[in-house]
Amino acid sequence: MLYQSWLFFALFMVQFACQNKQADTEENKDDSMNTNISEATFAKNGMVSSAHPLASAVGAQILKNGGNAADASVATFFALAVVYPRAGNIAGGGFAVCRLQDGSVTSLDFREKAASAATREMYLDSKGEVVAGLSIRGHLAAGVPGSVDGMIELHKKYGKMSWKDLIQPAVDLAKNGFKLTSDEAKVLNRFQKEFKEHNRFELHLVKNQVWQEGETITYPELAQTLERIRDQGRAGFYEGKTADLIVEEMKAGKGIISAEDLKKYHSVWRQPIIFPYKEYKVITMPPPSGGGIALAQLLMGMENYPFKDWGFNQIQSTHVMIEMERRAYADRSSYLGDPDFVKIPTDMLMNKEYIEKRLESISMTEKTPSDEIKEGKVDLIESVETTHFSVADKDGNAFSITTTLNSYFGCKVMVKGGGFFLNNEMDDFSVKPGVPNQFGIVGDEANAIAANKRMLSSMTPTILEKNGKLFMVVGTPGGSTIITTVYQVITNVIEHGMTLQQAISAKKFHHQWLPDEVIFEENTFDPAVLKQLEQMGHLMKPRKEKIGRVDAILVLPDGSYEGASDPRSEGKAIGY
């Protein structure tokens, strides 16, 4: 596809989507619902919702060209690797939940792995204490990438269009450039110091003047890497020149990923977590995602309470949600890890009697202290950068895909000559049991580091059916807040009758067992509700940082699609 014609279409689609979003017209009576800023996109034939308008435009073009949801997912993924480099990636990993028009479902695990030279003590000093920052920044923090292999497997199983045609738009974007959004310019400026500190060469992203909104940026070395992937497929990344560049970077920075690690990496098709919730069927990601089982516990637990009667973000509904989140995250810490290495009691954790037994200790007048559920210590919850996109085509095929580098720009190391950042997913292991990672999550033996093991994740790509038909495709970035954000969006639609855009725009809160505190976005609660929650013993901590950046699709009663992208980001849903 010629660059000029593709770019013209992409820019047209972005402008068209901006002009044709159907704004929510209901009066904004509750600031916590944020309905005054909610907008949605509606289309009959297909929808792509992602973190960047150009990436969504690429996916929409593929659908319009006759590609299916798998084709659009692959093209959107590689476009995000260019236009959204803080989280879009070719050297990270992720999960995909897939539902075909015939109702068949599966999930793809392309999560990163620990290198073969990894050991459980690799981030500890001689006294057995965690070395601050070692699992977060620099070469040693990187896991073996899975993203490219994942997209190849997705295309091999479900794709219709030529692989080369799906990669070409990303090549064009990297080679010819694109204009920075306001947020992307700010993020590049924010990380100038880290780019200098953690790289052995001067990145083209580092400049004396600040990056400006509307400024054109190119990624010439990334374009060459993408061309190798386009022309050679899997071998264009896991072998040959790109693999050599990664290994050379590892050696230069005392990393441990080897050529053999890259060559041996393979994604895994897994049976999704599937469970009923009222008249809905929920299809979500199994371990090594911790999200699916936790989401099952939360939604199945809700059936014991009258949430619809209690109302949105009211005292009783919020209190019980916090208490359920506390218990679900404690179970996540204790039991979950890579199923290829540890036996996970999935049946027990998703057993209705077990869940009800866990909820028996919930008091309706006061909180349950987290240290009464399980011991642990943590001091803070930091930010994370992952990206999610949702795709549905005219035939009803749907893909929910979440990918990540973990932190913003991963470990901050760009592969010299390759033009892409490495992940810092090793921090998602339990570096030391009982010691929190950068997102405040405390792990146990099930998630201890081991060679060739996949680290536990919170990513929760999810698809819902209603009466046997596709209903919702949803997911979000946000580290440990992913699970609770997906949970609240689903709850907002099903229990509180919100439109998809309202459900996404609504203010969010989060509790993850440890630290024993509730973080929430400013203006989430009415002052009287907040005061009573505090009187019940909840430690309520407002924060300016947003929770979640959801990209989702809802099937409307007439079979058309509502696409919604979170107003907390500059993403966009585009359909045709």
Active-site positions read: 386
Three-state DSSP string of 310-354: HCCCCHHHHHHHHHHHHHHHHHHHHHCCCCCCCCCCHHHHCCHHH
What are the Cα distances from residue 12, in Å, to 54, 81, 459? 10, 21, 32
Least Cα distance to 299 among 157, 572, 133, 493 occurs for 493
Q: For residue 5, count other CB atoms closer than 10 A to its CB.
A: 10
| 237 sits in which H/E element | helix 235-238
Q: Beta strands 509-510 and 518-521: pairing type?
A: antiparallel
Residues contacting 102, CB < 8 A, separation 6+: none
Token digits for 26? 């209901």
CB 404 within 8 A of CB 419: no
What are the Cα distances from residue 355, in Å, to 273, 342, 459? 16, 22, 22
What is the Cβ-side half-sphere exposure of residue 536, based on CA atoms within 13 angstroms?
A: 24
Token digits for 243? 């693999």
Cα distance between the two ends of the chain: 19
Phi–psi pair at 228, nearest 5 degrees: -65, -40
DSSP secondary structure code for residue 404 in this structure:
E
CA 151 – CA 575 distance, rounded (Å): 22
Q: 216 by DSSP, 3-state: which?
A: strand
**The total number of residues written for the chain in this structure:** 576
Token digits for 298? 């939360």
Least Cα distance to 576 among 29, 65, 11 occurs for 65
CA 125 – CA 269 distance, rounded (Å): 37
CA 56 – CA 563 distance, rounded (Å): 11
The string of DSSP codes covering 290-315 is SHHHHHHHHHHHHTTS-HHHH-TT-H
